[in-house]
Amino acid sequence: MKIGIIGTGNIGSTLARKLSAAGHDVRVANSSGVEGVRVFAHEIGAEAQDVHGAVADADVIILAIPLPAMRELPSDLFDKAPSEATIIDTSNYYPGLRDLHIPDIDDGLTESVWVARQIGRPVIKAFNNALAYTLAELGKSEGVPNRLAIAVAGNDVTSKQTAMELVNQTGFDPVDAGTLEDSWRQQPSTPSYCCDYDADTMRKALASAIPGAAPKMRDQLPEFFGKLGANPSHTEVVAMNRKVNSVVG
């Protein structure tokens, strides 16, 4: 498939690397323009593009940028993208910590519903509830015991299936998390968020999420991370998430 990835931070670069290795035609772009991604693209066997070139005629478009950056995308960005293209939103909302406040989300609008409205296209929520280290280092082949899972939410059945197959190709069991409106269940500080669970436990975690509870916990993250020290290990972060996001059996 032709896959355009906008954003080359920890998540975007990891997905670009893995999907290129899986044989897809990957095009990468970020806010720095073509020259800003040329070295990385060459390294992983992808094509360096600007944001328009990344999405033009793409089968899949992955938005791996912070939520406020969605507002900065060109208004005509998707004009040359096929109407049936699968658009995957990997973003998470951290107001006051990394992001400026977005009133609609603060008032309870599901994050990826806001993204869909912002860009004027349907989106699938995926790859957001796993840590960058998890995505880069902990993937396993399909069928291997104790394979970790990633939640996938969206309204279009075909696009959701495409996203779930990409999750599988990157080394994780895809778990259907419901509609895009349901994707609040995989947002930051919910029980399913960045806890390195297998598929069965992921389903339990998604089901156990309580409306309105996560933002209160999310806003306490500086306090929780402060207790871990300056350079917590991946294991320590996952253990903290399992504890404070609500433990599921």
Give per-residue pLDDT as tens, 50-90.
999 999 999 999 999 999 899 999 999 999 999 999 999 99
CATH number, position 152: 3.40.50.720
Give per-residue pLDDT as tens, 15-39.
999 999 999 999 999 998 999 999 9
pLDDT number for residue 223: 85
- Check pLDDT > 90 for residue 10: yes
**113 belongs to a structural domain:** yes
| Domain hosting residue 144, numbered range | 66-183
* Torsion sign over Cα 238, 147, 170, 63: negative
**40 belongs to a structural domain:** no
pLDDT number for residue 209: 96
**194 belongs to a structural domain:** no
pTM over 0.75, yes/no: yes
Give per-residue pLDDT as tens, 105-116.
999 999 999 999
Distances in Å between the alpha carbon of 179 and those of 126, 154, 176? 12, 4, 9
**115 belongs to a structural domain:** yes
Cα atoms found within 13 Å of the Cα of residue 138, Cβ hemisphere only:
21
Q: What is the mean pLDDT of the chain?
A: 94
CA dist 180 and 42 (Å) reads 35
**175 belongs to a structural domain:** yes
Given a contact cutoff of 8 angstroms between Cβ atoms, the answer to whether 73 and 122 are in contact is no
**213 belongs to a structural domain:** no
pLDDT number for residue 205: 97
Number of domains in the chain: 1
More confident position, 35 or 218: 35
**104 belongs to a structural domain:** yes
**34 belongs to a structural domain:** no
Overall average pLDDT of the 221-226 stretch: 81
